[in-house]
Structure 1
Amino acid sequence: MTTYAIGDLQGCHAEFVELLEALDFDPRRDRLWLAGDLVNRGPGSLACLREVMALGEAARVVLGNHDLHLLAVARGGAALNRKDTLDAILAAPDREALLDWLQSRPLLVRDTLGQDTLMTHAGLLPQWSLDQAAGLAREVQAVLGGEHAGAFLERMYGNAPALWRDDLDGVDRLRAIVNVFTRMRFIDAEGRLDFSAKEGLDSAPPGFAPWFQYPRGDGARLLFGHWAALQGATPHSRVDAQALDTGCVWGGALTALALESGERASVPSRRR
């Protein structure tokens, strides 16, 4: 059995199928971890959702910012953006089953695979312990699975508060958790998030650095997607952080990391 971790699909269904074939992936034997953003921007978002959902227990998926955007549009009253490619999902006959499945996905997956391994879409705040992070992720998952999910999705967006505090409550607390797990790139020494810089490391604002350049003491392996400009690299990292998003939807590649061996395999984007 091999466990493969794959970064943002973002509707790159043809490349996803090609990569699984190249890996000789067998859901009866192997396992798949997907770092969120299954949908949007690429041409095959509906097919990606159906493909991953059909894998059942063989696939473990975390929510990304584009997945949450789909849920906010479908169930929280948010508007589609000009570049969105979500219409096919919203019009699909199996729309509600797909949305129910997506809404039940967590923000964090954790397991022991040779070492304590944790996957989120964007990363892990260095001020949070692994247990704290898992608990905070469960708080959001409980809300998304409850009767007030739509109300939260309506108020989910926003850049404040940018600095985590343990005494945050209500929507501010939930929004801060979601922003760390699905939007984080650069932070300052206190853990304050910057939302303006989205490119490579040289785009860091003064006083900010990539979240993975701040030390931790737990020795965990941290898997994340979200940051295509890194092209799978984490320069000067002070933790065991593995970047999975290699920008398939932007003309890069779709990459799988074998968690047991550390080997990577990629297929080129068809959008070149």
Structure 2
Amino acid sequence: MSIVEHVDLSAHPGRVFVVGDLHGMVHALERLLDSAGFDPQQDLVWSLGDLIDRGPFSSQCLDLLQQPWFRAIRGNHEQLMLDAIVDDETWLQWIVNGGDWALDYPWNDPAVRGRVEALPWAADLVTGVGRIGLIHADVDRMSDWPQLLEALEQGRGVVRQTALWSRGSANQAWRGLPGRQIAGVELVLVGHTIMDHAFQWGNMWVLDSGAVISDDPSAALSMLEIHPAVKLWSVPTTQDPAAAYWWSQQLDRLAAVMARRCA
């Protein structure tokens, strides 16, 4: 496993996109890629993590990891899945945070876990518009981009916790504070914290626009094109029938999970 994935795409002949948190909304990704004119023969998509949990098609989102045009970094929900094997407490933490979809899915199969364990904590991409950093949640405030990558590779716990869980920068952006400039990189793209739309804040792009929250009028799946130029793409997911039905069945699924666990 590479802790940080370094890829030079500056001469890539196709387009490169980065999508926000999918949370099982693979059908919304299909619509989004179609609207952008995505070509799987030459274009690439990176995910900012949180492929799974809370939405209707988590297993299909994991299947994307086997597609040659698809890459992903690790999100906190992938980490919850990996940690769920440790004991009942960590398993329950995953379940109540959306892991109830895995009741009849072989989530602990070595092949499945292997694909998730291989997800890097960050991606460092060189594109036609410069150096682009991908991290799931946030960049440690004491670090520039090269320092962050070094700290991740060294396994520093606080930095890794920030990378997967922090909402610090997103909350500052939501409050209208001045944009953050992270040195050593052209743009940093993050997900994790749901906003009512995707936007740039300093040299950070916040891309989780709440695709799975179908009862929110602003719900959308957002994606930023980063090569050969920068362009934002988005499709609304408000009143998405698959997501709405999935949420309506959540309590029944949780009851079934707990009953099977206690049997």
TM-score > 0.5 by shorter chain? yes
Aligned to 1:180: 162
Letter in 2 for 1:213: G
Letter in 2 for 1:123: D
SS across alignment from 2:85? helix
Letter in 2 for 1:109: A
**Distance in 1 separating the partners of 2:213 and 2:161:** 23
- Measured on the aligned residues, the alpha-carbon RMSD in Å equals 2.7
- Give 1:88 deviation, angstroms: 4.2
Aligned to 1:256: 223
Compared CA separation, residues 199 and 215, structure 1 to 2 (3 A): closer
**Distance in 1 separating the partners of 2:190 and 2:97:** 22
SS across alignment from 2:142? coil
State how 1:198-213 maps to structure 2 within 5 Å.
201-202=174-175, 213=179
- Give 1:21 deviation, angstroms: 2.5
1:257–1:264 contact (8 Å) kept in structure 2:
yes
State how 1:128-139 maps to structure 2 within 5 Å.
128-139=143-154
Q: 2:204 aligns with which of 241, 248, 255?
A: 241
1:106–1:138 contact (8 Å) kept in structure 2:
no
Letter in 1 for 2:42: R
- Give 1:93 deviation, angstroms: 4.5
Deviations 1:215-245 (A, max 9, x none): 44435210111111252124xx3x3111111
**Distance in 1 separating the partners of 2:96 and 2:204:** 30
2:106–2:112 contact (8 Å) kept in structure 1:
no
Letter in 2 for 1:264: L
- Give 1:181 deviation, angstroms: 0.5
Letter in 2 for 1:124: V
Task: Report the TM-score, using the length of structure 1 for normalisation.
Answer: 0.71
The question of 1:66 aligning with 2:77 is answered yes
Percent identical residues: 23
1:36–1:61 contact (8 Å) kept in structure 2:
yes
Aligned to 1:105: 119
Aligned to 1:7: 20
Structure 2, gaps ≥5 residues long = 1-13, 245-263
Aligned to 1:53: 65
2:146–2:184 contact (8 Å) kept in structure 1:
no
Structure 1, gaps ≥5 residues long = 141-172, 188-196
Aligned to 1:158: none
Letter in 2 for 1:182: L
Task: Report the TM-score, using the length of structure 2 for normalisation.
Answer: 0.73
**Distance in 2 separating the partners of 1:88 and 1:74:** 16
- Give 1:24 deviation, angstroms: 3.1
SS across alignment from 2:189? strand
Tell me whether 104-113 or 21-30 shows the greater mean CA deviation.
21-30
State how 1:119-198 maps to structure 2 within 5 Å.
119-140=134-155, 173-174=156-157, 176-186=158-168
1:126–1:214 contact (8 Å) kept in structure 2:
no
- The number of residues matched between the two structures is 218
Q: 1:115 aligns with which of 103, 107, 130?
A: 130
Q: 1:22 aligns with which of 31, 35, 53?
A: 35
1:109–1:119 contact (8 Å) kept in structure 2:
yes
Aligned to 1:154: none
Deviations 1:17-66 (A, max 9, x none): 2222323323320011110111111111111111x21213x222111111
